[in-house]
Each structure stands twice: as structure tokens, then as C-alpha cells.
């Protein structure tokens, strides 16, 4: 299969596949006599895995480390579990940060809504923010 076909099957663009190859998520593709990349069905499976990892918010380098473990002959499950645990911790942190920010913004919003624009201190640009 050519790159366009495979990328379509995986729901990606040819650019993305070349990028993944360059980033080490895909092994360097076999080339046809014309220099075109040649792919087998296994590539689609690998790309699906990559897509699942991306959907879980894993970075390219994290996914690369999983694939490297699999290539080394180990079941990468323990490593995947570690990465997902880290991802959960990061998500919890980000959600907490955004929630705190939201609270502060909500307070400012209330202050502005309750304020009197004509009493807004010009020298402070806006008294209520």
C-alpha cells in the first residue's frame, strides 16, 4: 500500500505518517523501485495504536517509548500503566488549576457585573478587574 492509502485507512494525512516515521513511531518504510514508501496491513494496526495513545493524551515520545518496549520483546503493559497513571495525575493537576482559575475569574466577573461603570476608576483602567 502507498502512503495515501494507509494514511486514509488510519484517518491521518500522509504528512502525519512521514512525521511519525521521522519521530521514530514508525520504522523506516520499505521503498518501491520508484522510491515510494510501501506499507503492509500491520502499519495500519500500529497507526491505530498510536491514535489510541494520542487520544489518551500521550505525547509522541511517550508512545515511542511504549513501541520501543514492545519492539524489545517485552509486553509494554506495565509501562503503559505507569504512563497512564502519570497522565491521570497531570490531568488532575490541570483540572484543579483551571478550576481555581475559574473561581477567580468568576469572582472578578461578579465584581464587574455589580460595579458601577461610571464609578470605575479611570487611573486603574478598570477598578473591577
| Contact residues for a copy of itself, defined by CB under 8 A | 42, 45-46, 48-49, 52-53, 55-57, 66-67, 70, 75-78, 80-81, 84-85, 87-88, 91-92, 94-95, 98-99, 101-102, 104-106, 108-109, 112-113, 115, 117-118, 120, 122-126, 128-129
> CA 56, CA 83: separation in Å to the nearest integer?
10
Name which of 7 and 43 has its Cβ closer to a copy of itself.
43
- Whole-number minimum distance, CB 23 to a copy of itself, in Å? 16
Distance CA 59, CA 52 (A): 11
> Residue 49 interacts with DNA (CB under 7 A)?
no
Sign of CA dihedral 58, 60, 63, 69: negative
Q: Could you tell me the smallest distance in angstroms from the CB atom of residue 86 to DNA?
A: 13
- CA 14 to each of CA 2, 11, 22, 61: distance values in angstroms, whole numbers, following the listed order: 9, 10, 12, 20
89 makes contact with DNA (CB under 7 A) = no
According to the binding rule CB under 7 A, does residue 46 interact with DNA? no
Site string for DNA, 56-75 (x = CB under 7 A): ---xxx--------------
Report helix, strand or coil for 28.
coil
Residues at the site binding DNA, with contacts judged by CB under 7 A? 2-5, 13-16, 18-20, 29, 32-37, 54, 59-61
Amino acid at each position: 500500500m502507498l502512503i495515501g492509502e494507509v494514511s486514509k485507512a488510519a484517518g491521518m494525512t500522509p504528512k502525519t505518517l512521514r512525521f511519525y516515521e521521522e519521530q521514530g513511531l514508525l520504522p523506516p518504510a520499505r521503498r518501491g523501485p520508484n522510491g515510494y514508501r510501501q506499507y503492509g496491513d500491520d502499519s495500519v494496526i500500529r497507526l491505530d495504536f498510536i491514535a489510541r495513545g494520542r487520544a489518551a493524551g500521550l505525547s509522541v515520545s511517550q508512545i515511542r517509548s511504549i513501541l520501543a518496549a514492545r519492539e524489545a520483546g517485552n509486553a509494554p503493559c506495565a509501562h503503559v500503566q505507569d504512563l497512564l497513571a502519570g497522565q491521570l495525575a497531570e490531568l488532575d493537576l490541570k483540572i484543579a488549576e483551571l478550576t481555581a482559575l475559574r473561581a477567580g475569574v468568576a469572582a472578578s466577573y461578579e465584581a464587574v457585573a455589580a460595579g458601577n461603570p461610571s464609578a470605575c476608576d479611570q487611573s486603574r483602567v478598570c477598578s473591577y478587574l
